[in-house]
Structure formats: structure tokens, C-alpha cells
Copies of this chain bind each other. A is one copy, B any other.
Amino acid sequence: MKTKTDVLVIGGSIAGIVTAATGKTLYPDCDFLVVRKEKEAVVPCGIPYIFETLHSTEKDLFSEAVLSDAGVQVAVDEVVSFNPRDKICRTADGTEISFARAVLATGSIPKTLPNIQGIDLENVFTVPKEKQYLSAMHARLSACHKVVIIGGGFTGVAIADELHKAGKDVTIVEGLPSVLKLCFDEDFAIAAHQMLISKGIRIFPLDGLKEILGDTHVTGVLLESGARLETDAVILAIGFQPNTAIAQEAGLPVNELGFIKTNEFMQAGSGYGSMRPEDAKILAVGDCAEKRCFITRVPRNIMLASTACAEARIAAVNLYRLSVARIFEGTIPTYTTMIGDTAFGATGITESVAKEIRFKITTATCEGYDRHPLSMENTHPQIVKLVVTRESGLIIGGQVMGGSSTGELLNLIGFAIQNRMNIYSILTAQIGTHPMLTSSPISYPLIKAAEEIARSRWVG
């Protein structure tokens, strides 16, 4: 069968959905077709929560109405070959689709450890963004009591907390000295690490997986340290890699980390800082597209829904004509996770990364509470850390530990970073406060942290 569309979006998770739905509103006369493998797409940030809080993958799905209401066509199929020159692709069911513009939103796939013995045993899982896999995994885990999670990054930690809430006996194995070490500075990472332990989650730091034991099913793991743990299941949460098989077969260039090269308009081809007419018709967004750090400017392998959505909105507008106001200037890594009722969030770069790459910085960490006065019910401690360049006072990083307002407070800091604001923009900010919603105006930790940094620049 042959078919054609104006805009073909390959991949229908968050980046594909947002590109298509947004694009259709901006170019209402164009046809938009999304080709994706599964009928329904899971909400990526919600995946850890299917194991207890949501109780089911079914409860973690994007509403299909987002695409249908927007007037976007969806085909449940898989693109098996892609020819950017002739603007044709072929799908698994034999359809040939010709297009005027194509957007690669093929996402990422979980990393695995192919050389580890036992990796193919039953009850060894990764965490892909696939409904069928996750539903089956959920069902299998329900029958397990002991679970070992390899990797204490955001995914591993969130799943550990959920499985623990579900009554499982949970162990995290982490190669670094603490969980979340890559996203947070030591003080925040250690706080999260200790909080997990205090809840009864076992952590093996500075250790790794050597072998998975068992006959057909997992029965245990052997760690590099020699420790041997009994377990009913193993979850590999060791990160993701961009899914670029189709793009590479089609000859689209990838960068040194394996991501499809894209420029600031999200055009795939020659990459950042380049604009060639021949790149204008193929775009790439989300986890498969090149990521550069907004601050350090170097390629990084950070894949986040926040970045994917921003890229998708930018790609959508730049499909047929270009918007100078909507270009992608680099990834602001913004992570948030919950352990119990404590939220941990980070945005921009950490103090340790900043020092490693030799930015001269000042930091301040201030503690307070997320409501006021302290006698208010459900008050939660709030700690805010700012990382600021010594020379210019620009904000380049923030970390927050707190209650239910942590997400949006972190977004305020991320917004300040992305708009290249300095500490004075925060210091003079008229922060609205309310007893049940925010910290006290006199001890608002974000302001206190900015003040501490400003003081060191003012005195002496």
C-alpha cells in the first residue's frame, strides 16, 4: 500500500505526540501522521509509579485524544526503512509512506549488560517505555518478594521506593559512592541515600553486577565485590541509549555519543551551529536527538521529558518556516524524584560538575520550610542550593529538597538559568508567599541562598 502525508512523525511517545499535536495547530492545512509501535503510549515520568501508586500501566497512558482531537492521524506500525533523500519510508506491514517533512522521534532504549552471564534469565528486566512490556513486568514483579535493582539513578531510586511501598524486599546496587550521585552534589545525594536506607531499602554502593544466578528464573546475583544476594527479580536501571537505528541506516549523521545530529531549529543533519537547506526537511526531537548542555555547551547523554517537550514545540513551529524566537539553545537538565513525601530536584549543573570543568563558582545552601509559620500543618523542610558563576553572578545550577511545591520552585530556578538571569534577579524578586503554599517571605530559602552569594560579592 502507498500513502502520503505532509508531515510524518516517526515515534509516538512524548516528543512525537507534542511535535504532531503542536505542529497541526500551527500548520492546520497540513496532514500529520504519527507512526508508532504501540496503540497507546505510556507517560514516561509515570513509569516507576505503575508498580504501586498507580497500580497499573493502564493508568499511566497518554490520552489518545491529544492526537485525535488535534486532527493528527495515527498508524500503529513500525518504520523499517527510511529514505530521507526520496522522502519515503516503509513500514513493517508493507506500507510505503511519502512525506514532505519527517520528524524522527524514535526515543531511547534501555541499556543492558549483554556480556553478563544470566542476563537472559526470566525475571531480569529493563525499563523500556513500552506498555506491553511494562504490564507483563508489573504482573511478574507482583509475584516476586525480593528485587535487586542495578543502578541508583533517578529511575532506579523511584522504582526502589515504589516497590518498597508495595511491600517488596528491595536492594539497590550502585557503582558510585551513593545513589543519585550524577544528578546531585554530595550533600543532597547522601541525604537521599540515607533516606532510602532508613526506609529499609538496602544499598550496595561502589559495587556492580558480576553474574545473575539461576536456572530458568533468577534466583540470585553475584556482585563484583563477591557479595551474593538471593533475589526473585533483577531490574537493570543503568540508563538509556538513543534509538537511532533507522536514522543511521538512512545515513543521517550521529554525534560521538550516538545521537542524531541536530541544529538549534531541530533540523537533523549537520548539527549545532549549522543551517543547510538540505537539512530542512528532516527533523529530530526527543531522546534520539543530539543533546548539548545549555551551560557547558558540550554534547551530553541526558534524556528528559522536559527537554523532549521543549524540542518538540520548537520543531513543530520550524517545520515549514523558521521562528527566530523559538530555537533550542541546549539542555537544562532538570530532574525530580520523590522518596516518600520528600522531593529531590536538580536543575542546571551541579557544583561538582562545574568545578570539574573549571567554572569558577560560588554556591550557597539554605534551609527553611515549605510553609509558614512552622506551626502550620504538613510543613516540610525545604533546602535550596544555588550554583552561581563567581565572575558574572549568573545562575547555572540549583538543587531543592522539599515538599509538594518542589517541582515548580525548581522550575523557577530552571527558568532563571535558561534565561541567563543572575542572582540579583532573584534577590530583588517580589516572591509571593502564602502560609499553606510557600516558605515564609523572610526566610524563603531561594532568596536566602542568593543573598548569601551576593553578600560574598558585596562585602570586601
Contacts and interface: CB of A to CB of B under 8 A. Distances in A.
Interface of A: 14, 17-18, 21-22, 25-26, 28, 43, 45-46, 49, 53-54, 59-62, 66, 304-310, 313-314, 317, 323, 325-329, 331-332, 334-338, 343, 345, 347, 372-373, 375-377, 403-412, 414-416, 418-419, 421-422, 424-425, 427-438, 440-444, 447, 451, 455, 458-459
Given A26-B455, A305-B433, A336-B437, 7 more contacts: A46-B435, A54-B375, A54-B376, A309-B444, A310-B430, A326-B427, A404-B405
Contact of A442 (B26, B309, B414, B425): B309
Contacts of A441: 14, 18, 45, 305-306, 308-309
B459 A431 contact: no
Contacts of A317: 458
Contact of A338 (B21, B373, B436): B436
A43 B372 contact: yes
A242 to B, nearest CB: 18
Nearest to A66: B442
A429 B407 contact: no
A433 B54 CA distance: 17
Contacts of A435: 43, 45-46, 49, 53
Contacts of A412: 408, 411-412, 415
18 contacts: A18-B442, A49-B435, A60-B373, A66-B442, A325-B427, A332-B430, A334-B430, A345-B434, A404-B405, A404-B436, A405-B407, A408-B438, A410-B432, A411-B432, A415-B415, A415-B416, A415-B429, A418-B428
